[in-house]
Amino acid sequence: MAATTRRFPCHLLTLSLLGIVTLGLPTVAGAQKSIIVQTNAAGDNVHLIDPVSNTIVGEISGIEVNHGAAAAPDGSRFYVSNEVDHTLDAVDARTLDITHKVPLSGRPNNVAIRGDGRRVYVAIVSSPGAVDVIDTVSMERVKRIATAGGVHNTFMTPDSKYVVAGSIAGRNLTVIDAESEVALWTLFFNAGVRPMSFETHPDGSTKRIFVQLSNFHGFAVVNFDERREELNRIELPEIPEVERHTEFLQGSPSHGQGVAPDGKTLWLCSKVNSHVYAYSLPDLKYLGGVHVGSHPDWLTFSPDSKYVYVANAGSNSTSVVNVETLKEVVQIPVGQVPKRVITAVVPEATVAGWKTATATSRASTSREALDYEFFREQVEPIFVHKREGRARCVVCHATRTRFRLQASPPEGATWTAEQSRRNFETARRMVVPGDPLGSRLLQLPLAEEAGGNSFHPGGKHWTSQTDPEWQTIASWIRGSRD
């Protein structure tokens, strides 16, 4: 993420941030503006935040379970990986419409873009793992680089010379030469490799990599250029046990980090502590922590290095943190389970053309009835129902989770009777008969303020217990008392 920021001349961005017109500077057609691009992992939209006003100024919609985001250096496009369709979606920055969907070799996670904007490198997490190479002129997948295990995140080193791919299953990171697109070396760890960030030498070449690891509340320090080995590990501070979050850490107590564009500080998220922590560079001296929202998952910076933007997956917000005062300035409400967040630069005229989409809520009707028939008629459709700004329950719950639904029926069709029976059995295990509020099925997708639990990795689908869908499931649960 820091890599995305650093590819642009920073002095220029600072000027445009201050509102000074950057006329007369070479290579830039008009005034440029930095934009914080906030993905929503359980949503179908991406929010575009103006870091001057700290408000949402644009929204990309129609990308369910969006994962990674990258921006073209000239601000003409955004690239977003799509976990439902297994595509890399290209979005025209001016219209915010999806213009291309490039089929990938498997289920994607994060993406990285080369400094010249010609290539996007997509992490393919499904086994056996790979980095898919997308040519942004032909908008085709031109290569698939095999890796030792599914890839969770791809990064570009700040000098754009290497692609670095981290694997959770393979417990390694692989360094790929960005010119020949050939894997050069792989470093193995005793735990899965999560997010990374990069420290540079004065000439811009890469000096060290900071690596977050599965089930480790801290980071490893890796020597990049000489010895290519792990030097040491640093643990993040601890807070009292009662204040910690231990549910749904998804194997990653500390996930998300970045080196500020000025290279002076390293910031890391702690999901356990709902904090971000700062360390000085190059000495890695602890500077302090800031309490943010719940389950902070990723971060990025304003180009002037004065603010950190933190995606709070559990609070559905983006925190803005002042680097100097170590204080949270504001939390901006965004979509469902915000994760990857990047800094992009786009022409000012492009931003001026955006119109913020307004959410309209849809409602369905409920009716009293009981048991299996009621479940099949009234409850099951809720799992395939598309709610505005949210991914459907079935796209996540037909794989990988304990609340395991049958594969989604084809468009227009319904589940077979046998499949419905299985769904019924699965759903039964998620409820306490007669006790809607004590039932996981109703607690998790319900907003915390409305009586739900604090975090559901699949987002909050109901803002109140009066939501017709919530009510429908509640009557099913009450009715199944007998």
C-alpha span between 49 and 382 (Å, rounded) = 31
If you ran DSSP here, which 8-state letter would residue 377 be given?
Answer: I
Closer by beta carbon to ligand HEC, 290 or else 441: 441
Residues 6+ apart with CB under 8 A from 305: 260, 261, 262, 264, 265, 323
Smallest gap, in angstroms, from Cβ of residue 461 to ligand HEC? 4
CA distances 288 to 41, 242, 270, 346, Å, are 28, 20, 13, 33
Smallest gap, in angstroms, from Cβ of residue 392 to ligand HEC? 6
Smallest gap, in angstroms, from Cβ of residue 411 to ligand HEC? 18
Closer by beta carbon to ligand HEC, 275 or else 456: 456
404 closest CA partner among 431, 423, 380: 423
Closer by beta carbon to ligand HEC, 77 or else 340: 340
Closer by beta carbon to ligand HEC, 304 or else 380: 380
- Subset of 192-251 contacting ligand HEC (CB under 6 A): 248
Smallest gap, in angstroms, from Cβ of residue 469 to ligand HEC? 7
Closer by beta carbon to ligand HEC, 248 or else 424: 248
Residues 6+ apart with CB under 8 A from 171: 149, 188, 189, 190, 191, 192, 193, 214
- Subset of 302-361 contacting ligand HEC (CB under 6 A): none
Smallest gap, in angstroms, from Cβ of residue 151 to ligand HEC? 19
209 and 219 Cβ atoms separated by less than 8 Å: no
C-alpha span between 286 and 398 (Å, rounded) = 43
193 closest CA partner among 139, 125, 277: 125
Smallest gap, in angstroms, from Cβ of residue 87 to ligand HEC? 17
- Subset of 448-467 contacting ligand HEC (CB under 6 A): 456-459, 461
C-alpha span between 37 and 389 (Å, rounded) = 16
One of 73, 256, 296, 445 touching ligand HEC (CB under 6 A) = 445
Instruction: Please report whether residue 393 would count as binding ligand HEC according to CB under 6 A.
Output: yes
Strand, coil or helix: 359: coil
Q: Residues 397-436 vs ligand HEC: string with x where CB under 6 A?
A: x---xxx--------------------------x------
By beta carbon distance, the residue nearest ligand HEC is 458
Smallest gap, in angstroms, from Cβ of residue 450 to ligand HEC? 14
Query: Which regions of 139-264 does DSSP assign to beta strands (E)?
Result: 140-146, 151-156, 162-167, 172-177, 182-188, 193-200, 206-213, 218-223, 230-235, 257-259
The count of residues interacting with ligand HEC (CB under 6 A) is 20
Smallest gap, in angstroms, from Cβ of residue 410 to ligand HEC? 19
Q: What distance, in Å, lies between the first and last C-alpha atoms of the chain?
A: 54
Check the CA dihedral 341-345-347-349 and report its sign: positive
Closer by beta carbon to ligand HEC, 73 or else 256: 256
Closer by beta carbon to ligand HEC, 357 or else 430: 430
Residues 6+ apart with CB under 8 A from 482: none
Q: Residues 104-143 vs ligand HEC: string with x where CB under 6 A?
A: ----------------------------------------
Strand, coil or helix: 375: helix
361 and 388 Cβ atoms separated by less than 8 Å: yes
Smallest gap, in angstroms, from Cβ of residue 382 to ligand HEC? 6
One of 175, 396, 447, 474 touching ligand HEC (CB under 6 A) = 396
C-alpha span between 13 and 271 (Å, rounded) = 31
Smallest gap, in angstroms, from Cβ of residue 409 to ligand HEC? 16
Closer by beta carbon to ligand HEC, 226 or else 449: 449
- Subset of 274-313 contacting ligand HEC (CB under 6 A): none
The residue written with tokens 């996930």 in the block is 255
Closer by beta carbon to ligand HEC, 46 or else 290: 46
C-alpha span between 169 and 167 (Å, rounded) = 6
CA angle 98, 99, 103 (to 5 degrees): 90
Smallest gap, in angstroms, from Cβ of residue 89 to ligand HEC? 17
299 and 310 Cβ atoms separated by less than 8 Å: yes
One of 46, 120, 351, 441 touching ligand HEC (CB under 6 A) = 441
215 and 251 Cβ atoms separated by less than 8 Å: yes
Smallest gap, in angstroms, from Cβ of residue 463 to ligand HEC? 12
Please report, as ranges, the residues that interact with ligand HEC according to CB under 6 A: 42, 65, 248, 391, 393, 396-397, 401-403, 430, 440-441, 444-445, 456-459, 461
